[in-house]
Amino acid sequence: MKLKLASAAIGALLAASPALADLVFPDLSYRTGPFAAGGIPFSDGYQDYFTLVNERDGGIGGVKARVIECETAYNTEKGVECYEATKGEGALIYQPLSTGITYQLIPKVSADKIPLHTMGYGRTSATNGRVFEWVFNYPANYWDAASVAINYLLDENGGSLEGKKIALLYHNSAYGKEPIPTLEALAAKHGYSLSLLPVDSPGQEQKSQWLQIRRERPDVVLMWGWGVMNQVAVQEAANIRFPMENFIGNWWAGAEHDVTPAGMAANGYKSLNMNRIADFPVFEDIRTHVHGKGLAAGDGSNVGKVLYTRGMYAAMLAVEAAKKAQETHGTANITAAMMRDGMEALEMTSEMMEALGAPGIGPEFSVSCEAHGGSGMGIVQQWNAAEGRWIALTDYIAPDQDVIAPLVEQDSMAYASENNLSLRCE
Amino acid sequence: MFYREAGDFKTSYRDDSQTFPIRFDRYRYYAVLVVALAVVPFFIDSYWANALLVPFLIYAIAAIGLNILTGYCGQVSLGTGGFMAVGAYACYKLMTAFPDVNIVLHIIAAGGITAAVGVLFGLPSLRIKGFYLAVATLAAQFFLVWLFNKVPWFYNYSASGQISAPERTVFGIAVTGPNTEAWAKYLVCLLFVVVLAWVARNLTRGSIGRSWMAIRDMDIAAEIIGVNPLKAKLTAFAVSSFYIGIAGALFFAVYLGAVEVGEAFGIQKSFLILFMIIIGGLGSIFGSFAGAAFLVLLPVLLKNVLVGTLGWPTDLAAHIELMIVGALIIVFLIAEPHGIAQLWRIAKEKLRLWPFPH
């Protein structure tokens, strides 16, 4: 039986051998499991944009982009399998959309020399390019998110959070634990008290946490949730009649599908966002060139949604980095190492975003050898249940780099000394 | 025609009671060993190692461990994931506290620590049985996962609660960390599997294994004929946890390199390994391998066929894959409740007479 399995697997592998001379962008997506609600629109947006570039512009610099989709179900073991299965095909960049898989891949991509882009998730201290050569997390990361949320609250409360009670409701995993050091440092600085409420994965059981919130009556609840956990949290908050305007999710807890199950009760729920949502002209192109030709990824119903927009934005940044790499190296057929150079030289300006048909989709930022993290800015948006859409409340808010920079330095240096890395860019 | 003992003369008791008494079977076993040890390492690439063979070998160790407890000693356990976590975290703490000590020793020590923890959680088995014991071990599962999440000392106070394996070498060759060659990973796991499976086989047919089986078959009768239930049950818990701890340490250090406890060692891992031994065959070393192969290799194979060859959408393939594996489990259990190991035994019997069954 083992022999049969082996020979069949070899056959399966050989049959799927690649057509060369494409630019390969693996998409480690998850369309199944408890996190699929977030994984599907992100992956649809990611793939649709590459299809658009192929159909409308004839590829990136004349070379077609090829997306290889691999289902991870947000599971690290499957994520490793996907990584191993796709890296040999000439993968240029990995975007796993999972902090757990990111931690898995950071040492692997560093050894295999393939860039890893974790947009607004993953290991925060990877923003230090002196230590993390192959990992990028522009335009923003979790510690930025935590600080943006606190800065927003400072603004709301006349510049002082003295004596306020803030609760952090978080997914009990690497993802949810990431913001804690920053929130603690900020608590020391601004004088609020922080209570931590972990929710075990996948997050369907939150009764006891909300009971605690009802008892402690925090002024604000921040949430680091994903997948099914968000919907349950919003519903539970509605059940205990927690004032929704004091409930703020991070940017992975602020999509349409997170709030619609609670209906009108979700009205007023706030969340962060790292990209704007609007009816960008690029969506029209996607409808004409991709969906019109029947090439849509998924069922094509997600265009313009929060996570679709973010997935498309991720692809857009990858395409721009690839163009930059083609420009600097003077060849259209770039390798993963060249892609990394392109990412490190990436600069997103308003004019570029305008030209791409997505004006103001993200903040302006530039990447350098030292700084892999972008500007770190985010907006706060609020759910309007009657109209069924998110409304931006603020412009891009800058995080408090005075607090974040030392934390990044400390954590990345610890990684460098653990792994005997010498610092770059010097 | 195959597996015949005709002409295969034994002249000593020792020969008579060997593991593979039939010559054909014995040579087949040696052939498998030679291929696995001396041929595969030269051809293995990182996909085969990381996606197929290394997880298969590690799950096989865990399945042998659970099989000792559940299959041989009859104590149902749902704490496997938790015990694997003990192995992983023990290995991590040892690796970072004593970086100069050989990683193989750390892995074995991690097994020893898990054995101690296993004995502790095995104590209730002296008073409770069956389903009730399963619930008690379930408590161990949840307690251990909670503990490793709650106490930052276990993950060296890292911001994310993740543990990640630094590079460690054996004879100057990296076996953990990102720069590990595929063959090195594979060989380390394989050597552990070969030694542990050999030890398990010999333990289970010795006096200690017989006392486990006596307890399994009827504990009161076993006690009356002089089997000490305290000793039998606790040794089963200790040996089983030792194996599972080693599997956990290898799973973390060699296979994944970074884990978070809730995701990697949750309750679903306990169920997965329990399913492996039920499908493979309770009370059989070969069954542990067969069950691990069934649940590790088959999903990957199906995925490659459905997505790679047939070009189906990945979500459809993922759902169909669950259905196919589920259906196959039911088919196997209806066709042969004693698992793949029993099917193999029957196949051997048939092959022995083939092509002249009368």
The DSSP secondary structure of A152-185, one letter per residue, reads HHHHHTTT--TT-EEEEEEETTHHHHTTHHHHHH
**Mean local confidence (pLDDT), B217-221:** 93
Amino acid identity of A131? Answer: V
pLDDT in tens, A299-311: 889 999 999 999 9
Mean pLDDT of chain A: 91
Instruction: Band the pLDDT of A9: cuts 50, 70, 90.
Output: low
Q: What is the pTM of this model?
A: 0.91
Give contacts of B260 with chain A, Cβ < 8 Å: 100, 103, 173-174
Please tell me the distance from the alpha carbon of residue B96 to that of residue B153, in angstroms, as a whole number. Answer: 12
Q: CA A106, A107, A108 angle in degrees (round to 5)?
A: 90
Averaged pLDDT, B29-42: 94
Residue linked to tokens 């003295």: A162
Mean local confidence (pLDDT), A208-212: 95
pLDDT digits (tens, 9 = 90+) for B101-114: 999 999 999 999 99
- Reduced to 3 states (helix: H, G, I; strand: E, B; else coil), residue A113 is coil
Whether the CB of B169 is below 8 Å from some CB of chain A: the reply is: no
CA distance A343 to A337: 10
Residues of A in contact with B318 (CB under 8 A): 31-32, 71, 73
Task: Name the residue of chain B whose CA is nearest to A103's CA.
Answer: B258
Q: Per-domain residue ranges for chain B? A: 22-265
Question: Domain A142-274+378-399 carries which CATH code?
Answer: 3.40.50.2300
Same topology for domains A20-141+277-376+406-418 and A142-274+378-399, yes or no? Answer: yes
Instruction: Give residue A8's pLDDT band: very low, low, confident or very high (50, 70, 90).
Output: low
Closest chain B residue by Cα to residue A109: B178
Mean pLDDT for A34-45 is 94
Share of chain B above pLDDT 90, in %: 68
Judge whether B293 is closer than 8 Å to chain A, CB to CB: yes
pLDDT at B248: 97
Task: Show Cβ contacts of residue B9 under 8 Å, excluding neighbours closer than 6 positions.
Answer: none
Domains of chain A: which residue ranges? 20-141+277-376+406-418, 142-274+378-399
Query: Strand, helix or coil at A119?
Result: coil
Per-residue confidence band for A5, with pLDDT thresholds at 50, 70 and 90: low
Contacts A–B by Cβ distance under 8 A: 123
How would you class B39 by CB atoms within 10 Å of its CB: exposed for 0-12, middle for 13-18, buried for 19 or more?
A: exposed
DSSP A127-143: GBTTT-SSEE--S--HH
* H/E segment holding residue A95: none
* Closest-CA residue of chain B to A411: B159
Cβ-Cβ contacts under 8 Å, A108 against chain B: 178, 257
Task: Give B5's pLDDT tier (boundaries 50, 70, 90).
Answer: confident
* List of chain A residues whose C-beta atoms are within 8 Å of the C-beta of residue B179: 111
Among A261, A226, A221, which residue's Cα sits nearest to residue A244?
Answer: A221
Strand partners, A24: A66, A91
- Kindly indicate the confidence band of residue A340, based on its pLDDT and cuts at 50, 70 and 90: very high
* Token pair in block for residue A253: 């807890």
ipTM for the complex shown: 0.88
- Cβ distance B160 to A123 less than 8 Å, yes or no, reads yes
Query: For B318, which of A32, A85, A104 is closest by C-beta distance?
Result: A32
Contact A81 B178 (CB under 8 A): no
**Which residues of chain A lie closer than 8 angstroms to B314, CB-CB?**
29, 31, 69-71
Subunit contact B256:A31, Cβ cutoff 8 A: no
**Strand intervals (E) in A54-141:** 65-71, 116-117, 135-136
- Burial of A54-89, coded b for 16+ CB within 10 Å and e otherwise, reads bbeeebbbebebbbbbbbbbbbbbbbbbbbbbbbeb
3-state secondary structure of A338: helix
If residue A194 lies in a helix (H) or strand (E), which one and from where to where?
Answer: strand A193-199
Mark yes or no for CB contact A16/B166 under 8 Å. no
Integer Cα distance of A65 and A357 in angstroms = 19
- Predicted pLDDT of residue B59: 97
Asked if A107 and B50 come within 8 Å (Cβ–Cβ), the reply is no
Taking the CA atoms of A405, A407, A411 and A416 in sequence, report the sign of the dihedral they define.
Answer: positive
A7, A31, A46, A70, best to mutate vs chain B, most B CBs in 10 Å: A31
Nearest residue on chain A to B317, judged by CA atoms?
A71
* Residue B301 sits at the chain A interface (C-beta within 8 Å): yes
pLDDT tens column, B295-309: 999 999 999 999 888
Nearest CB neighbour to B263, from listed A108, A201, A418: A201
Q: Is any Cβ of chain A less than 8 angstroms from the Cβ of B257?
A: yes
Tell me whether B258 touches chain A (CB under 8 Å). yes
Q: What is the C-alpha end-to-end distance of chain B, expressed in Å? A: 13
pLDDT per position as a tens digit, A68-126: 999 999 999 999 999 999 998 899 999 999 988 998 899 899 999 999 999 999 899 89
Contact (CB<8Å) A80/B308: no
Residue holding tokens 């060296």? B156
- SS3 per-residue string spanning chain B: CCCCCCCCCCCCHHHHCCCCCCHHHHHHHHHHHHHHHHHHHHHCCHHHHHHHHHHHHHHHHHHHHHHHHHHHCCCCCCCHHHHHHHHHHHHHHHHHHCCCCCHHHHHHHHHHHHHHHHHHHHHHHHCCCHHHHHHHHHHHHHHHHHHHHHCHHHHCCCCCCCEECCCCEECCEECCCCCCCHHHHHHHHHHHHHHHHHHHHHHHCCHHHHHHHHHHHCHHHHHHCCCCHHHHHHHHHHHHHHHHHHHHHHHHHHHHCEECHHHHCCHHHHHHHHHHHHHHCCCCHHHHHHHHHHHHHHHHHHHHHHHHHCCCCHHHHHHHHHHHHHHHHHHHHHHCCCHHHHHHHHHHHHHHHCCCCC
A36 interaction partners in chain B (CB closer than 8 Å): 315
Cβ of residue B156 closer than 8 Å to a chain A Cβ? no
pLDDT exceeds 60 at position A10: no
- Residue of A117, A182, A116, A118 whose CA lies nearest to A145: A182
Band of residue A15 on the pLDDT scale cut at 50, 70, 90: very low
> A223 forms bridges with which residues in the sheet?
A169, A249
| Structural domain A20-141+277-376+406-418, CATH architecture | 3-Layer(aba) Sandwich (3.40)
Of the candidates A9, A80, A173, the beta carbon closest to that of B301 is on A9
Q: What confidence category does residue A188 fall into, taking pLDDT thresholds of 50, 70 and 90?
A: very high
